[in-house]
Amino acid sequence: MTLLTTWSESGPETQVRRTSDPAEIAEALKPLGVRYEQWPIREDVPFDADSDTVFAAYGPEIEKLNAEEGFTTVDVLGLHPSDDPEFPAKAKAAREKFLQEHTHDDDDEVRFFVSGSGIFYLHVNGEVHAVFCEKGDLLGVPRGTTHWFDMGTNPSFTAIRFFHEEDGWIGNFTGSTIASRFPDYDTIAAGYEADKASA
C-alpha cells in the first residue's frame, strides 16, 4: 500500500489530498507527467538482495520498461542498517543530499522499490505531493520536475534505478529550504503505520 499526501506549497496546514488508493494516486499524478504503477511483489527476494538476484527476479518487468522508455542503464541501489560503524554517518550524508530540493535537466528519476520504503516530494504547480513508496511501487519523476527525496533517519530500502544517460544521477539544487517546512519521512511513516494498524 502506498500513500499520497498533497498540500499547498504554503505549508502542511493546508492539506489538499490524502489517499492510499493506487488508482487514485496514479490518476492524481498523471497530469504532472509522473508515472506511478505497481509491479508484482516477489516474496522470495530478500530485503537486502544483491543486484543479480534482483535482476533475475524482475527481469521481465525491467525489459518491458526499457522497451517502452528507452533506458540505457539500470542498476540496483541498496541501503540498509548494518554493523558497519560508518553506516550512520554514510546514511546521514546520503539523506541530507537528497533532502535538498532539486531538479534533473537530462534525465527522469525512475525508481522501483524492491524492499523498504522512501518518500518522493514533488513540488509542482503551487503544491507539494508526498508519495510514500513501498515494496512493489514504481515512480517515474519527469526531468525538470522540482522535488526531493527522504529515506528517513534509519534508511532501509533496495531500489532499481533506471537512466537514459550513462552519467546517472545529476542534481541541480534550487537552494530552497522548502523541504524543512513539510513533514519528513519519519513523521509520515509513523502516521502511515498507525493507519494501517487500525484499518
Binding site membership for Ni(2+): which residues? 102, 104, 109, 147
Name the nearest CA neighbour of 5 among 189, 138, 135.
Answer: 189
Feature table: binding site: 102, 104, 109, 147
Feature table: binding site for Fe(2+): 102, 104, 109, 147
DSSP assignment of 139-153 = EEEPTT--EEEE--S
Strand partners for 109: 141
Residue 99's Cβ-count burial label (10 Å; 0-12, 13-18, 19+) is middle
Give exposure, 71-80, as e/b (b: 16+ Cβ within 10 Å): beebebebbe
